[in-house]
Structure 1
């Protein structure tokens, strides 16, 4: 059995930004400060057929071949498919158990990219969006963070849509920014969902499920990062916006390529981010939330 110096996992990685993140990790790891030997990347996806097809596309990738990035080409990186549907509690449990069993010393990088962007706006869209983008991401973080090596990196892919715009009331913005626990952020998500259901949300919230779900991700990342640091951990936990990327999620409307979108999450995983913890990043720098 091959032994690996570093282990990474990327969620929602069979296409779009997630697949590009896997690709860029393989390309950039050899020159990063983390390089101390072979790297294993878990490309996770909920659909095995699509996940394995993504894996094959990387093996055939011309840039990876010319860089000799993969072990099969004489490089440092192995990429393996691992099933993960973050909207399934059992699947997230199995994923965390796999990491614990197969990597008892811990993993180094976890990039939570899996998300949905549904069309329309009603209480069902809100429920489905929050379930995947907020609650499932939070569960994945809580279950996997104990398996990240001290000094590793955890990256939650959010969006500039998650900034606290003027469409939020001052009291809601204040509660987001002053949240002390994950429960404080979760309570806000619950209030939004309830408000949409009974038609009273517009006084405090935008009518945008995706935006609110990503505000939740940014807020909860800040809380978890602070709590983790207070416990003495050196693991850096941040969220980021990849930009407006041309993917299925944006229905082809983006201005960036998936590789350009992957730049921000990969920087937070491998780059020199000056000890940044709990910050929200976009376009290579920390931005106000």
Structure 2
């Protein structure tokens, strides 16, 4: 097997923003400061059929062919599918072990894009949403981060739906404090939300009746806590959260105003480009924004 100089993993990448992130990584790698020889991107998704179809779509993509960025067209980049379901511990650990074995020197970029947005609001919807968007992405982050080489990047695709202006002052301050304290402090807030929903008193407790938004507030908060912990290791690994914007995808039921490629711009910038060493920030439209 040819030695890959750079390796990336993208979760939830068979369609929408995830697929566009893989496309843009391939397109932007040649002009990136990270460019150094062959680039391998793992496009991950739950379904092998949809994953294979997505790789095939990219291999036949007119813009990628014209830019000659893929290895099959004489470029640097190869895209491979790998199974990953971030709501399943075994699946996360299997992918982590595969990466360790396949790339003992480590990987360079991990972009956690996988997520769910379910209709309705009740205890079960909250539990299912948190299982993927909060606990699943957190577990994937913890699995990938030790594999990322010095100077690499971890990017979590969160959302401005998770901004803190929807909460009581007490809960808002609790989020801000937890993000500067530890991941367990953030997880305790998520548990507090779930309990309040189970008891039908989330609004009285200072939370909105919104599963997706609260899961994304948690994701942004723990990304900040994770960045703080990673900084202590002094490896130069940058950890950031971002919002892709309101993108026209299945998740927004086609109502978004941005194209998936426009939505991919901020996450790809945070992975591939010079961001001045910034870590633990929340970004939107290629700049740091208020959480």
Moved more, 211-220 or 196-205: 196-205
Find the aligned partners of 1:277 and 1:99 in 2 and give their Cα distance.
Answer: 24
Residue 187 of structure 1: aligned partner: 188
Local SS of the residue matching 1:115: coil
Residue 72 of structure 1: aligned partner: 72
Find the aligned partners of 2:5 and 2:233 in 1 and give their Cα distance.
Answer: 25
Corresponding residue pairs, total = 288
Give the TM-score normalised by structure 2: 0.98
Find the aligned partners of 1:233 and 1:37 in 2 and give their Cα distance.
Answer: 22
1:109 to 2:109 alignment: yes
Shift of 1:144: 1.2
Cα offsets for 1:212-239 (capped at 9, x unmatched): 0000000000000011101222100000
Find the aligned partners of 1:6 and 1:173 in 2 and give their Cα distance.
Answer: 39
Runs of 4+ in 1 over 4 A off after TM superposition: none
Local SS of the residue matching 1:108: strand
Find the aligned partners of 2:197 and 2:174 in 1 and give their Cα distance.
Answer: 19
Alignment of 1:228-267 (within 5 A): 228-267=230-269
1:17 to 2:25 alignment: no
Find the aligned partners of 1:271 and 1:3 in 2 and give their Cα distance.
Answer: 23
Shift of 1:178: 1.3
Residue 89 of structure 2: aligned partner: 89
Residue 277 of structure 1: aligned partner: 279
Find the aligned partners of 2:65 and 2:122 in 1 and give their Cα distance.
Answer: 46
Residue 136 of structure 1: aligned partner: 136
Task: Tell me the C-alpha RMSD between the 2 structures.
Answer: 0.6
Give the TM-score normalised by structure 1: 0.99
Shift of 1:189: 0.3
Structure 1 residues not aligned, in runs of 5+? none
1:161 to 2:161 alignment: yes
Shift of 1:272: 1.4
